[in-house]
Chain A
Amino acid sequence: MTIENSFSPGQAIAPVFRWLNINFHAAFEAFSDAINAALVLVETPLISGPPIIVITILSVAACLLTSWRTAVLVAVGFTTCFLAGLWKETMETTALVAVAVLVALAIGIPLGILASRQRRIELGLRPILDVMQTLPPWVYLVPAVILFGLGRVPAVIATVIYGTPPILRITTLAIKGVPRDRIELGRAFGASDRMILWKIELPSALPTILVGINQCIILSLAMVVLAGLVGAGGLGAEVTRGLTRMEMGLGLRAGLAVVILALILDRFSRATLTARRTRPLTGIANALRGRRKNK
């Protein structure tokens, strides 16, 4: 008697999902709708506006928030995507990444702050985060697809689950890394805990947190592209099509667009980090206040 192939945990657990699917269907539907609504909210302006206008707006935003170099990258990159005939898909993917990252940040950063203050929470979260970060990304796709069907919603959910642990950890690390004497300073001047958090801890931790956000964006993009396999649309779906149907032209174009988008998102989030003092936006604000511009 061999023990090989004698037991399948999967078969044992599968009924749970079926049960969940049947009993909580309405809840899942509502959840799906919410996510879809958010996606539509973000992508409609991006897709329905004439590409030229959208690209211009994004470039200008990049210029104000970072530097002209990044703005050029944004302009050239997105134009290339447009010329490659993949404008709509690029914007769809961007919207997916945007929504997923925002949700991940909304969960990760507050939890990260909480964990930095309460040792018990930090210790309790650690094994969970460890496991979540060891598991490869698509592991989260499976249950998400089971419960929410194929499409964009499981992609967003899986991406959020994948992207939250890194930002949570980095936020905790960043807050704990704020020099003790700065916090003592705040207390000595009579600042409340809330004031200390917003005026001292978060600004001090911001550079590190921005690094975490950059990481979150890159991971999310990777996940969203992979989710093209399960009907998430966008560039991921095009890459999958190119791969599975051996349409190499399409594959190459889609691949190129993904690379461009990755570089744009990466550069942009990193440049926000380094350009905080010298960016044009600060200069304009200072000029309006009538103060001397920084050197």
Chain B
Amino acid sequence: MDRVSFVAKLDDAVQFGLDWLYTNGAWFFDAIDDGLGEVYSGIEWMLLSPPYWVMVVLFGLLGWKTVGVTFALLAGAGLLGCAVMGLWDETMSTLALVLSSVVIALIIAIPIGIVAGLKAGVNRYVQVAVDVIQTIPPYIYLLPGVALIGYGPATAMTATIIVAISPALRLTALGIQLTPLELVELGRANGASSMQMLFKIRLPLARPSIMTGINQSLMVSVGMVVIAGIVGAEGLGFVIYEAIRTLDIGKAIDGGISIVIVTMVLDRISQGLGAEGAMAAQ
């Protein structure tokens, strides 16, 4: 058979396979859809229910505590700017998407990262997997979600979670791996159990690395926003996607500015939390 019909047959097979999965695995995918959807909605509700100026103040306080006064003021002003541009709801939706994705990603990535840090065999596979995940353009990760779950925040979240897992995984494994030998010896000499070693020595020392991983996960998730918008997740991504499609420069710029603000705020606050932790650990 020639190539065209071969390809057509391939497509049919794929469709057939997907239909089969739909009918038989519906409960599974629906569960994922609902589950992720719930997490997202929950966080979104928390962020959207107070009036915007309350949130601005809260973020300002958080910024003050983790970074400093100047930053707190700038962050507050920036977020206020989002409201001024009429994009407050979208900003909070985006934030909800990012936070919920990162939280789930961390729940998966950190335990695996710890195991990988402790066992070289596991680490090898993990490193290869992370490598592959980070090589593939993130846009592609929308495909399985769309195929199996359809449009909506859940699909956006699956893609974002995949992307967010990589840095957190890698840096957690690295942090655990790099525990100084003398301190490991110290623990063993004192007869500490593996659990005690983990919680009293390795994790505290791995903390800076893990915090960097969290920071990078957040950053990379924010980068996924427009991709999220393509599959219909509400938020700044959708705004920008629409603006690109309709060539609405104004809206696109507004959306872009808002994203930048969210990025900077998340970046500095997560770095600030990391630094605080490092000092506390000493």
Report A-B touching, CB under 8 Å. Answer: yes
Does A192 sit within 8 A of B, measured CB to CB? no
Contact check, B140 vs A255: say whether CB atoms are below 8 A apart: yes
Partner of B143, one of A83, A226, A251: A251
Does A58 sit within 8 A of B, measured CB to CB? no
Partner of B11, one of A6, A83, A253: A253
Residues 234 to 289 of chain A near chain B (Cβ within 8 Å): 236, 239, 242-243, 246-253, 255, 258-259, 262-263, 266
B side interface size, CB within 8 A: 58
- Residues in A whose Cβ lies below 8 Å from that of B260: 134-135, 139
- Given A8-B86, A249-B11, A255-B140 in contact, is the A141-B244 Cβ separation under 8 Å? yes
Does A222 sit within 8 A of B, measured CB to CB? yes
Contact check, A7 vs B84: say whether CB atoms are below 8 A apart: yes
Contact check, B136 vs A258: say whether CB atoms are below 8 A apart: yes
Does B281 sit within 8 A of A, measured CB to CB? no
- Given A8-B254, A136-B222, A243-B230 in contact, is the A248-B140 Cβ separation under 8 Å? no
In whole angstroms, what is the CA distance A4 to B92 when docked? 14
Per-position 1/0 for B240-269, Cβ under 8 A of A: 110110010111111111011001100100
Contact check, B132 vs A249: say whether CB atoms are below 8 A apart: no
- Residues in A whose Cβ lies below 8 Å from that of B231: 243
Contact check, A262 vs B84: say whether CB atoms are below 8 A apart: no
Does B107 sit within 8 A of A, measured CB to CB? no
In whole angstroms, what is the CA distance A14 to B256 when docked? 13
Does A3 sit within 8 A of B, measured CB to CB? yes
Partner of A10, one of B137, B222, B247, B249: B249
**A266 nearest in chain B by CB position:** B135
Does A183 sit within 8 A of B, measured CB to CB? no
Contact check, B147 vs A10: say whether CB atoms are below 8 A apart: no
Contact check, B256 vs A139: say whether CB atoms are below 8 A apart: yes
In whole angstroms, what is the CA distance A83 to B147 when docked? 22
Q: Which of B7, B86, B222, B253 has the most CB of A within 10 A?
A: B253
Question: What's the least CB distance linking A176 to chain B, in Å?
Answer: 22
In whole angstroms, what is the CA distance A230 to B245 when docked? 8
Contact check, A5 vs B86: say whether CB atoms are below 8 A apart: yes
Does A72 sit within 8 A of B, measured CB to CB? no
Does B204 sit within 8 A of A, measured CB to CB? no
- Given A7-B85, A263-B132 in contact, is the A83-B6 Cβ separation under 8 Å? yes
**A139 nearest in chain B by CB position:** B256
- Given A142-B256, A229-B244, A230-B244 in contact, is the A8-B136 Cβ separation under 8 Å? no
- Residues in B whose Cβ lies below 8 Å from that of A139: 256, 259-260
Stretch at the interface among B12-20, B64-72, B186-194: B12-20
Does A173 sit within 8 A of B, measured CB to CB? no
Does B112 sit within 8 A of A, measured CB to CB? no
- Residues in A whose Cβ lies below 8 Å from that of B226: 136, 138, 226
Residues 98 to 148 of chain A near chain B (Cβ within 8 Å): 134-139, 141-142, 145-146
Contact check, A221 vs B253: say whether CB atoms are below 8 A apart: no
Does A13 sit within 8 A of B, measured CB to CB? yes
**A257 nearest in chain B by CB position:** B140
Question: What's the least CB distance linking A240 to chain B, in Å?
Answer: 8
- Residues in A whose Cβ lies below 8 Å from that of B83: 3-5
- Residues in A whose Cβ lies below 8 Å from that of B99: none
**A84 nearest in chain B by CB position:** B7
Given contacts A5-B84, A142-B249, A251-B146, 11 further A-B contacts (CB under 8 A): A8-B85, A10-B85, A10-B251, A10-B252, A85-B3, A134-B260, A138-B226, A146-B249, A258-B140, A263-B132, A266-B135
Binding site for B on A (CB under 8 A): 3-11, 13-14, 17-18, 83-85, 134-139, 141-142, 145-146, 218, 221-222, 225-226, 228-230, 236, 239, 242-243, 246-253, 255, 258-259, 262-263, 266
5 A-B contacts (beta carbon < 8 Å): A10-B250, A225-B140, A249-B13, A249-B15, A255-B143
Binding site for A on B (CB under 8 A): 3-4, 6-7, 10-15, 18, 52, 80, 83-86, 88, 132, 134-140, 142-143, 146-147, 219, 222-227, 230-231, 240-241, 243-244, 247, 249-257, 259-260, 263-264, 267
